[in-house]
């Protein structure tokens, strides 16, 4: 036990992403990174630090501020057999390019009846940061996960980040990889296995971060941490939460959710995005349509961002997103305690 612990390493999410890209760039010379400030600036959020120095202009490409243009260029390169990683400085700017993501990337393999794959990864920070206001705080999980042909991944911790990004790059399909700016600097212990160059996490499989019998909490990205914090508080009151880290939004691992709900009989979803037509709404629908519905002792509760554009003032921003106390409150209401 002790020797295993010694081989654990504390790695930030940023460094885990960096390692994933570094390893995949090394492994497959068709892989390249393209985006604003990714090369000489080391990345707007330093996620691609050191890569340009190591791999040069051909593999790490700085683009002008032309999202629609360079996203299209990246998709074209993927069609011609390369394996681009297209970075959006934040996913808010992907709206400039969303036609290329959906119409040129997501639908093409289908439209060509299998003739034309598009092995591309679109990655960047998604969702709210701190004080960046309405135009820079939107969560795009629901928008992208709505579309067939796309895979949508949303890692939480460093292992997720590394393993899922490697899988995304190796996947022959377009993958939207939703990172979180506030998580970049957070360190997590990474197992020895996860430090290997062959370490991947399968896309489409959720992870049980914490076992429990009384209620299932399902979340993705940063709010997995909030769920674990809420679970720790609730445990002191004798309420044991099972916390599921979705890891992938599309295809969603509904089976893991259902298995858990059949055990706990209660479900609370937690996300940063807006409620209407969101990830939690989809989970509710899927649970209702499936075998777990009859095991529910109460309706599913969704904990979400407030249904407004993101305000700037700190007090308003704090009240626009789920806080740990909101999760605790929702669990108790769902359990009727």
Catalytic center residues: 67, 136
Tokens of 89: 């400085």
Smallest separation, CB 129 to another protein (Å): 8
Q: Measure the CA–CA gap between 263 and 219, rounded to whole angstroms.
A: 18
Please say which residue, 90 or 167, places its beta carbon nearer to another protein. 90
Q: Is residue 132 within the footprint of another protein (CB under 8 A)?
A: yes
Q: Candidates 129, 180, 216, 245: give the one binding another protein (CB under 8 A).
A: 129
Q: Per rule CB under 8 A, is residue 301 in the interface with another protein?
A: yes
**Least separation in angstroms between CB 290 and another protein:** 22
Q: Which is nearer to another protein, 165 or 215 (CB)?
A: 215
Using rule CB under 8 A, residue 65 touches another protein? yes
Q: For residues 331 and 327, what is the distance between their CA atoms, to the nearest angstrom?
A: 6
310: which 2 tokens?
């993101």
CB of 143 to another protein, least distance (A): 16
Region near another protein per CB under 8 A, out of 158-166, 203-211, 283-291, 307-315: 307-315
The number of beta carbons lying within 10 Å of the beta carbon of residue 182 is 16
Q: Which stretch binds another protein (CB under 8 A): 27-35, 90-98, 168-176, 235-243?
A: 90-98
CA distances for 160 relative to 17, 179, 209, 282, angstroms: 9, 10, 12, 22
285-to-288, 289, 299 alpha-carbon distances in Å: 5, 6, 11
Interaction between residue 293 and another protein (CB under 8 A): no
Instruction: Centre a 10 Å sphere on the Cβ of residue 275 and count the other Cβ atoms it contains.
Output: 17
For 189, the token pair is 């212990």
CB of 140 to another protein, least distance (A): 14
Pairing verdict, β 248-250 and 151-153: antiparallel
Nearer to another protein, 82 or 132 (CB): 132
Applying the rule CB under 8 A, the residues between 227 and 286 that interact with another protein are 275
Could you tell me the smallest distance in angstroms from the CB atom of residue 40 to another protein? 7
How many residues interact with another protein (rule CB under 8 A)? 48
For residues 270 and 327, the answer to whether their CB atoms sit within 8 Å is yes
- Residues contacting residue 244 through CB under 8 Å, at least 6 positions apart: 206, 207, 208, 209, 216, 217, 218, 219, 256, 257, 260
- Figure out which of the listed residues 1, 2, 6, 64 binds another protein, where binding follows CB under 8 A: 64
3 state DSSP class of 3: helix
Q: How far is the CB of 277 from another protein (least distance, A)?
A: 12
d(CA 101, CA 73): 11
Q: Which tokens go with 325? A: 């106390």
- Out of 110, 277, 293, 312, the only residue in the binding site for another protein (CB under 8 A) is 312
**Interaction between residue 103 and another protein (CB under 8 A):** no
Rounded Cα–Cα distance for residues 38 and 88 (Å)? 10
Q: Which stretch binds another protein (CB under 8 A): 107-115, 147-155, 185-193, 327-335?
A: 327-335
**DSSP H or E stretch at residue 241:** strand 241-245
Q: Does 62 bind another protein (CB under 8 A)?
A: yes
What binding mask, one character per residue, do residues 16-55 give for another protein by CB under 8 A, x or -? --------------------xx--xx--x-----------
Output the six-digit token pair for 208.
């049980």
Residue reference for tokens 């330093």 = 46
Q: What tokens does 69 get?
A: 């243009």
The CB-of-264 to another protein minimum distance in angstroms stands at 18
* Site of interaction with another protein (CB under 8 A): 36-37, 40-41, 44, 62, 64-66, 68-69, 92-93, 95-96, 129-136, 275, 301-309, 311-316, 319-323, 326, 329-330, 333
């Amino acid at each position: 036990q002790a020797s295993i612990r010694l081989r654990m390493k504390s790695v930030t999410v940023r460094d885990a992403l960096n390692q994933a890209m570094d390893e995949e760039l090394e492994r497959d010379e068709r892989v390249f990174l393209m985006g604003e400030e990714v090369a000489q600036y080391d990345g707007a959020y330093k996620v691609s630090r050191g890569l340009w120095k190591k791999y040069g202009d051909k593999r790490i490409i700085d683009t002008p501020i032309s999202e629609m243009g360079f996203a299209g260029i990246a998709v074209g390169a993927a069609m011609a057999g390369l394996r681009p990683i297209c970075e959006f400085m934040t996913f808010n700017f992907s709206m400039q390019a969303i036609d290329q993501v959906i119409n040129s990337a997501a639908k093409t393999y289908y439209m060509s009846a299998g003739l034309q794959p598009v092995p591309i990864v679109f990655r960047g920070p998604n969702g709210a940061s701190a004080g960046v206001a309405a135009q820079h705080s939107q969560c795009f999980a629901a928008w992208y996960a709505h579309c067939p042909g796309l895979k949508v991944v949303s890692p939480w911790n460093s292992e997720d980040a590394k393993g899922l990004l490697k899988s995304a790059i190796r996947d022959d399909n377009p993958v939207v990889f939703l990172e979180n700016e506030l998580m970049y600097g957070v360190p997590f212990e990474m197992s020895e296995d996860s430090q290997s160059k062959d370490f991947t996490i399968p896309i489409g499989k959720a992870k049980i971060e914490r076992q429990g019998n009384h209620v299932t909490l399902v979340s993705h990205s940063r709010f997995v941490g909030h769920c674990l914090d809420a679970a720790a508080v609730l445990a002191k009151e004798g309420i044991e939460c099972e916390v599921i880290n979705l890891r992938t939004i599309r295809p969603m691992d509904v089976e893991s959710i259902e298995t858990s709900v059949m055990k706990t009989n209660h479900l609370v979803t937690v996300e940063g995005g807006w409620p209407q037509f969101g990830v939690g709404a989809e989970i509710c629908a899927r649970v209702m349509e499936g075998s777990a519905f009859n095991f529910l002792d109460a309706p599913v509760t969704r904990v979400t961002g407030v249904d407004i554009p993101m305000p700037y003032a700190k007090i308003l921003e704090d009240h626009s997103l789920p806080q740990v106390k909101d999760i605790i409150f929702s669990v108790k209401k769902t359990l009727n305690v």
